[in-house]
Structure 1
Amino acid sequence: METSVSYERSTTDETENNRASLPLTWRDYIEVTKPGIVKSNLIVIVTGFWLASAWSDSFSFLLFLVTVIGSSLVMGGSCVLNNYLDRDLDLKMERTKERIIASGRMSARFALMYGMGLILAGTTILGVGANALAALLGLIGAFVYVVVYTAWMKRTTHLNTVVGAVSGAMPPIIGWAAVTGNLEQGAWILFAFLFLWQIPHFLALAILKSEDYRNAGYQMLPVVKGFLETKRQILLWTAAVIPVSLFLYTVGVVGKFYFVTAAVLGLGWLALAVAGFFAKDVMKWARQMFLYSLVYLTGLCVVMMLNAL
């Protein structure tokens, strides 16, 4: 038996060493930036840019490209540093243990330099090609995500989701600021809307991944306070999203079609949040909440742009 265990261990070590020695490909350099997260954030950057363009009655395709490229680099670099800082805990979770930095395929030192380089490049592009405010907002978002959320709060308190939502709410106002150079009322409403949306969205995900988070030692709300308290928080934050989403109409940024769509989709999300207290299969309900939140945000962003005034 001892011989068998030793053989299995040596085989595993040999496999991991072989994997770590594989040369990096261009796909690896992209994968470590979490392109899925970057692409999802681009939706709200484009929305903010589009609404500000309609608000100011001006649109520049070159400025649009600069904003998208600069923001993507800042977000990608922030995600690299997130992977860099989380590499020890990533090894403890099934879904993350094969990540390129955690597995050793990309050295931690190189990842640190790569992430910082992407952030510097993105900030420079925003500052030179757009304006200083857009660049500053990008830096603030990166700092909150990397330092405050990843390095500190995710390991120490369940409030990390709320604080982390600050960085996630930056993309639409970066897009807005790139156009106008200011943060008008519409920009702040976009910020508040996305801030509030993120919390029930990520709390639903935290329920789905609660065992992984518990094993890794992350202080997520479902792990620390349990599912019932998480459901309460989801309901409260979902209820808060609805009126804020309607404020865009009251300040004249979007039209009536958006108002009706936001009200209907918001009430549907609220009803689903209430249903969680009666759900027999919590994981199934959490998955429905998570997927609905994506449909809700994507749908409203599309309608915002179609119904911009």
Structure 2
Amino acid sequence: MRINKQLSLLLGRKERFISELTTLVKRGVLVSNVLPVFIGFWLALHFSNDSFMNHGNVFFLTMIGSTFVIAGALILNNWYDVDIDRLMERTKKRPTVTGTIPLHVVLSMGIILTVLGFILLLFTTVEATIYAFVGWFTYVVLYTMWSKRRYTLNTVIGSVSGAITPLIGWAAIQPASHIVPIVLFLLIFIWQMPHTFAIAIRKCEEYKAAGVAMLPVVHGLNVTKRQIVVYVACLLPLPFYLMSLGTTFIVITTLLNVAWFVLSLYGFFTKNELKWARIMFLCSVNYLMILFFLMMIVTLPIFSQPK
């Protein structure tokens, strides 16, 4: 009985530690940033007429290295933002706030993961490592430490760090001067604006209490809704720069863009703005997942055309 009790306690502690760790690295955000790295890698192989079989080691180094760098950046964000995380409902249970993981340990974890990630990426290409560094520096220094609490421009700055991720994957195979990774960068950058604004509308009061300079906090909902419409409209022409992915991709992506644009306009006519913002957020998440899935499907050998 005593052994069983001790085992239960150990398992319970292990589960709590894993739960705290996944919260610390912002599991959902981590996955959503690593996935574009994979997409960039996948498309680079497709457009260079190559296969995973020839680049297994590079793939492993790229994915693990980029995951470490992104996780390190997210952990450092948690470490730096502990004071405002205490004031927000959705962040007040993070281990940095509750104290279950000491701040000096969090700082060390963020630095170690970052360094390890860069070392692994250096075994791929210098260009991929440079893109990873630009993303890390933009998120940790320019976004977290400089602009987040001061300027509504913080959303634009933060979006750069997220949009650069597919360039990491692509550059591990070939230089990212191709039209496809450039359009991917623009697509993810523009997508993040209405996505983040939708979150900011839903959590406006929390951001206000924490002193975070989000657009709806500083300039109000009407300005935010106008910017959402503008940014979603900017997505409309992008699929046509990806003609090499085929007609099916262009048609489906355009239909998604039009539907999202109509939904963004609905924000000016609804009285339940919080519900609308929630729907916008859910649509934005599914939008990007559908696009990535489409990119993979249309480039499978059985569907893609010889280049």
TM, length-normalised to structure 1: 0.88
Is 1:32 aligned with 2:24? yes
Q: Which moved more, 1:172-181 or 1:231-240?
A: 172-181
Name which of 273, 276, 280 aligns with 1:289: 280
Query: Counterpart of 2:56?
Result: 61
Which structure 2 residues correspond to residues 91-102 of structure 1 after superposition, within 5 A?
91-102=86-97
**Correspondence for 1:71:** 66
Q: Displacement of 1:107 after TM fit?
A: 2.0
Q: For residue 43 of structure 1, what is the aligned residue in structure 2?
A: 35
Count of residues in Structure 1 that have an aligned counterpart in Structure 2 = 284
Asked if 2 retains the 8 angstrom alpha-carbon contact of 1:204 and 1:286, the reply is yes
Distance 1:223 1:187 in 2: 34
Q: 5+ residue gaps in structure 1?
A: 1-21
Amino acid at match of 2:50: S
| Residue in structure 2 matched with residue 81 of structure 1 by the alignment | 76
Q: Which residue of 2 is the match for residue 220 of structure 1?
A: 214
What is the distance in 1 between the residues matched to 2:87 and 2:176?
A: 44
Of 162, 166, 186, the residue aligned with 1:192 is: 186
Query: In structure 1, what is the equivalent of residue 110 of structure 2?
Result: 115
Q: Aligned partners of 1:295, 1:30: CA distance in 2, in Å?
A: 22
Q: Which residue of 1 aligns with 2:227?
A: 233
Looking at structure 2, the residues matched to 246 and 222 of structure 1 have their Cα atoms a distance apart, in angstroms, of: 32
* Structure 2 residues without counterparts, runs of 5 or longer: 1-12
In structure 1, the residue matched to 2:293 is: 302
Matched, 1:276 2:267: yes
TM-score, with structure 2 as normaliser: 0.89
- How big is the shift at 1:26? 4.1
Match of 1:7 in 2: none
Q: Which amino acid aligns with 2:115?
A: L
Distance 2:160 2:180 in 1: 17
8 Å Cα contact 1:207-1:227 kept in structure 2: yes
Deviation at 1:72, TM superposition (A): 0.7
RMSD over equivalenced CA pairs, Å: 1.5
- Identify the residue that residue 8 of structure 1 maps to in structure 2: none
Q: Is the 8 A contact 1:49 1:178 kept in 2?
A: yes
1:231-289 C-alpha deviation (Å, 9 max, x unpaired) = 0000000000121233112xx2x111100011100000000001110011000100111
Amino acid at match of 1:218: V
1 CA distance for matches of 2:154 and 2:185? 18
Q: Is the aligned partner of 1:247 residue 2:241?
A: yes
Offset at 1:306?
1.2
One-letter identity of the residue aligned with 1:50: W
1:25 to partner: Cα distance: 2.6
* Identical columns (%): 39
Please say if 1:180 is aligned against 2:168: no
What is the alpha-carbon distance in structure 2 between the residues aligned to residue 105 and residue 232 of structure 1?
A: 42
Counterpart CA distance in 2 for 1:286 and 1:245 is 25
Partner of 1:5: none
